[in-house]
Amino acid sequence: MKIISVNAGSSSLKFQLFEMDNETTIASGLIERIGLEQGIVTIKYSGKKIVNNLEVKDHKVAVDILLKALFENHIIETIDEIKGVGHRIVQGGEIFDSNCLINQKVVSDILDLQELAPLHNKAHVTGINAFLEVLPNTPEVAVFDTTFHRTMDEVTYLYATPYEWYTKYGIRKYGAHGTSHQYVSSICNHLLNKKDSKIIVCHLGNGASICAIRDGKCIDTSMGLTPLEGIPMGTRSGNIDPTIFGVISKKENKTIDEILNALNKESGLLGVSGISSDSRDIEDAMKSGIKRAELAFNIQVKRIVDYIASYYVLLEGLDAICFTAGIGENSSVTRKAIVDKLKVLNIYLDEDLNKLRGQNLISSKESSVKVYVIPTNEEVMIAREVIRLANLK
């Protein structure tokens, strides 16, 4: 059974087409620069990669191009072969406690949540409508980044700001990367095979968040109202003292939006190092002895360790730490730097296992907590949700 998993951004559309009988990716692709002069269409299948430059007027045209490419390359023969479409939605607010089949009410609710995710939710709806137009009889499912975090209690999700900000405007912690945290922790739970398991997942990519999970349920996570909160990331600052807004606004005559832009796009690894947001560049620069690269790396590691330590206490102990996403899966250097700071909790790395690639246990026999690398797969999780919610078995 073929299911397509979609991530629609304001000017891009990313997709993966799965054969869900064996959960393999048959084709994947990215359509970029939608609505701009020269679009870029990249389609990958059977080890081949096709890149075309052409105008992509809007998301509907992007979906047409994507389906045409699937036909032309004989990846599918008829449109009916696609049995369902799953959409990644960044913000589900307090409306969506679970993922769901998409109907007109769901679409308008996603739009109502726009204020909490201005860049994302509107773009997601554009993607949903484009698929509805082209595949009107195919079930579409919304999979929210926030639903996994809906089990946090109010002591955890409320900020200590005026309570009316919450009741009037929904100002609270929602978290993100929920689909990834859920996927990775479910694999970890399977490996642990233990009741009431206590797990910390470190999703360390360009965007990065940490999640404390007890018995399969999120009890706390590092991202907040938006993905800006938490640990420093590729270009995001993570937690700061909000007073910085006032100081920078006066010193540099900047607006709130300009400062927010700097905190989202010019901070983190990039801001501190002045070199790059990409951890590979940071590691290379560290090898060349560049001090600010080392500083950027160490600040990120320190803040990650702070969260692990605080979640250890919150969970009242710990069974496993899981590393996932671009840095978590690939950077043995980052993993080592983090786990080396956890010796006080009797958590130890096996340095040889840490050098392996793919899913692995990387802690030593002496470690009181298991440490795993578990590659994430948000797209397959979305496709699984389509099958479950559209009853496609």
| Piece of the chain touching ligand ADP by CB under 6 A; list 12-20, 141-149, 186-194, 200-208 | 200-208
In the region spanning residues 115 to 174, those forming contacts with ligand ADP, defined by CB under 6 A, are none
Name the one range near ligand ADP by CB under 6 A: 7-15, 108-116, 326-334, 340-348: 326-334
Least distance CB 373 / ligand ADP (angstroms): 12
- In the 8-state DSSP scheme, what is residue 148? G
User: Should residue 234 be labelled a site residue for ligand ADP when binding is judged by CB under 6 A?
Assistant: yes
Does the active-site annotation cover 145? Answer: yes
Q: Residue 356: what residue type? A: L
- Measured from each CB, the residue nearest to ligand ADP is 326
Residue 280 binds ligand ADP, judged by CB under 6 A: yes
| CA distances in angstroms from 9 to 99, 125, 126, 182, 201, listed in the order given | 19, 10, 9, 22, 26
- Between residues 339 and 387, which has the closer beta carbon with respect to ligand ADP? 339
Interacting residue with ligand ADP among 232, 326, 342, 389 (CB under 6 A) = 326
Taking CB under 6 A as the rule, does residue 207 contact ligand ADP?
yes
Cα dist. 29→15, 22, 99, 205 in Å? 5, 20, 24, 20
Nearer to ligand ADP, 325 or 347 (CB): 325
Residue span binding ligand ADP (CB under 6 A) among the ranges 119-127, 144-152, 199-207, 286-294 = 199-207
In the complex with ligand ADP, which residue's Cβ is closer, 129 or 332?
Answer: 332
> How big is the chain, counted in residues?
393
Q: What secondary structure letter does DSSP report for 351?
A: H
User: Least distance to ligand ADP from the beta carbon of 327, Å?
Assistant: 4
- 279 binds ligand ADP, rule: CB under 6 A: yes
Shortest spacing between CB 314 and ligand ADP, in angstroms: 25
Size of the site for ligand ADP (CB under 6 A): 12
81-93 burial, b at 16+ Cβ within 10 Å, e below that, comes to ebbbbbbbbbbbb
- Burial call 160-184: b when 16+ CB within 10 Å, e when fewer: eeeeeebeeeebbbbbbbbbbbbbb
Give the Cα separation of 324 and 182 in Å (integer): 12
Structural contact between residues 238 and 304, judged by C-beta atoms closer than 8 angstroms: no
Q: Candidates 48-56, 163-171, 274-282, 384-392: pick the segment binding ligand ADP (CB under 6 A).
A: 274-282
Choice from 206, 239, 359, 364 touching ligand ADP (CB under 6 A): 206
Q: Judged by CB, which is closer to ligand ADP: 121, or 179?
A: 179
Structure tokens at 118: 């201005």
Under the binding rule (CB under 6 A), the answer on residue 325 touching ligand ADP is yes
DSSP string, 210-248: EEEEETTEEEEES--SSTTSSS--SS---S--THHHHHH
The binder of ligand ADP chosen from 327, 338, 373, 374 (CB under 6 A): 327
Cα 334 from Cα 331, distance rounded (Å)? 5
Residue of the chain from 12, 129, 197, 331 that contacts ligand ADP (CB under 6 A): 331
Q: Kindly indicate which of the ranges 61-69, 159-167, 278-286, 292-300 contains the residues binding ligand ADP, using the contact rule CB under 6 A.
A: 278-286
Q: Which residues pair with 17 in a beta bridge?
A: 4, 27
Cα torsion 380, 238, 251, 278: sign: negative
Spatial CA neighbour of 327 closest among 180, 202, 178:
202
Q: Distances from the Cα of 94 to the Cαs of 41, 65, 154, in angstroms?
A: 35, 35, 12
Active-site residue (options: 145, 220, 319, 350): 145
Give residues in contact with ligand ADP (CB under 6 A).
205-207, 234, 278-280, 325-327, 330-331
Which active-site residues does the annotation give? 145
